[in-house]
Amino acid sequence: MSPQRDRGGASYRLRVARAQSWPLWTGAGPGSLRQQYLPGTRLSVNIIILDDYQDAVRKLKCATLLEPLNAKVFTNTVKGIGQLSVRLRDVEVLVPIRERTHFPRQLLEKLPKLKLIAQTGQVGTHIDVEACTRLGIAVAEGVGSPTAPAELTWALIMAAMRRLPQYIGNLKHGAWQQSGLKAASMPPNFGLGMVLKGKTLGIWGYGRIGQLVAGYGRAFGMQVTVWGSESARAKAALDGLMVAPSCETFFETCDVITLHLRLHDSTRGVVKFDALSRMKPTALLVNTSRAELIEENALVSALNRGRPGMAAVDVFESEPILQGHPLLRLENAVCTPHIGYVEQDSYEHYFRCAFENVVNFIDAHPTNIVNPEALRVLR
């Protein structure tokens, strides 16, 4: 397989192992669908997989599911409806990688051939499902796993609390046992770091990821305190965890706070500057969920004022971020490039489900469709 080039950069074809006959959903009129067979020929379906930054998808074991379909993989990202509509103008089946690209109504209306979006992971606000339904674009939901993001959360907590990125970076420049965190505004010996045992771990959101992180905290001898919705607090109490009496107390008393909320209208910007400024100057805020949970510019402002003393962040409002991003310039911020789900087991898990949804759709047996009404729309 050799790389292909277009205006946006490198793209690749998944290796085609053999020719097969595959049925394809096509509209036959309002309220009905028909199958179109191509006996004895390789099916020509324009399948595009977007934003594969590390050129990993074609090397997955589950990629064999799409071998007969000659899918195209883009390893770079383009932004803007204009550029995306050019790249995707002939796409029939689209496989996005999580929320790396957004699909608003304005873009969807420019993709007249699109029949299916097979999401990797859960369908979120990055896809205008209502517009998809109106336009006759089926949206298939994938599967998720809390393991990888929970483990990354814990890795960030340990790395930030022990100042590992700072120590490692300075060691590579010849500085022995120097974290570099010595600003006058920082607490005494802040650069030495701290152990987790005996500290208070605050978890905002007690779903599957939050529950795993709570277990890690207990295993490390931390007192775990939960804040969140009424149901989340009730579940945490049943599990024997402390529940914060108020949001203010939660931010004031926890040594580490980690966010584990889904992004929707009621959680967008839910973490305010005032809440962050209540945190201890030695405290750590971790966000591996969604950047938009924190009101715009609040975290950078709070870190510049020393409350919290440190942040560990895996998510950003516009990705990929540029080298000059404000958080990257702060010595008390540890940043990773949205890798919460980026590891081999999760990729196999996510893409196998998405590819099975693609094959089933083409094979006239659509699965996991969140908007079945779209299947009845002529397109």
Res 13: pLDDT: 66
Q: Which fold has domain 4-145+344-376?
A: Rossmann fold (3.40.50)
Give, as one character, the DSSP assignment of residue 11: E
For 27-46, what is each residue's pLDDT tens digit? 333 333 334 433 333 457 99
The CATH number of domain 147-335, selected from 3.40.50.620, 3.40.50.720, 3.30.460.80, 3.30.70.141: 3.40.50.720
Residue 349 appears among annotated catalytic residues: no
Q: Distance between CA atoms of 277 and 302, rounded to whole angstroms? A: 6
Res 68: pLDDT: 87
Residue 76 has pLDDT above 80, yes or no: yes
Q: Which two tokens stand for residue 351?
A: 């893409």
Residue with tokens 């942040």: 311
For 96-121, what is each residue's pLDDT tens digit? 999 999 999 999 999 999 999 999 99
Indicate if 147-335 has the same CATH topology as 4-145+344-376.
yes
**pTM to 2 decimal places:** 0.87
Give, as one character, the DSSP assignment of residue 369: B
Share of the chain above pLDDT 90, in %: 85
Q: Which of 87, 290, 307, 352 is catalytic?
A: 290
Residue 319 appears among annotated catalytic residues: yes
Res 64: pLDDT: 96
Residue 236 has pLDDT above 90, yes or no: yes
Could you give the angle at which helices 208-219 and 147-161 cross, rounded to 10 degrees? 40
- Cα distances (angstroms) measured from residue 89 to each of 92, 181, 354: 9, 50, 21
Q: Distance between CA atoms of 190 and 309, rounded to whole angstroms? A: 9
Question: What mean pLDDT is predicted for residues 80-93?
Answer: 97
Residue 183 main-chain phi, psi, to 5 deg: -60, 145
- Cα distances (angstroms) measured from residue 338 to each of 119, 167, 189, 288, 331: 17, 22, 30, 8, 19
Question: What mean pLDDT is predicted for residues 247-254?
Answer: 99
Question: What mean pLDDT is predicted for residues 110-139?
Answer: 97
Per domain, the residue ranges of the chain are: 4-145+344-376, 147-335
User: What residue ranges in 209-294 does DSSP mark as E strands?
Assistant: 223-227, 242-243, 256-259, 284-287
Residue 325 appears among annotated catalytic residues: no
Find all residues with CB under 8 Å of 81, minimum gap 6, and list them: 104, 106, 107, 110
Q: Distance between CA atoms of 62 and 67, rounded to whole angstroms? A: 10
Maximum Cα–Cα distance across the chain: 75
Q: Distance between CA atoms of 297 and 295, rounded to whole angstroms? A: 6
Q: Which residue type does 319 have?
A: E
Q: Cβ of 165: how many Cβ atoms within 10 Å?
A: 18
Q: Which of 252, 295, 319, 331 is catalytic?
A: 319
Residue with tokens 């930030």: 160
Q: Which of 338, 349, 352, 356 is catalytic?
A: 338
Residue 126 has pLDDT above 80, yes or no: yes
Q: Cβ of 216: how many Cβ atoms within 10 Å?
A: 18
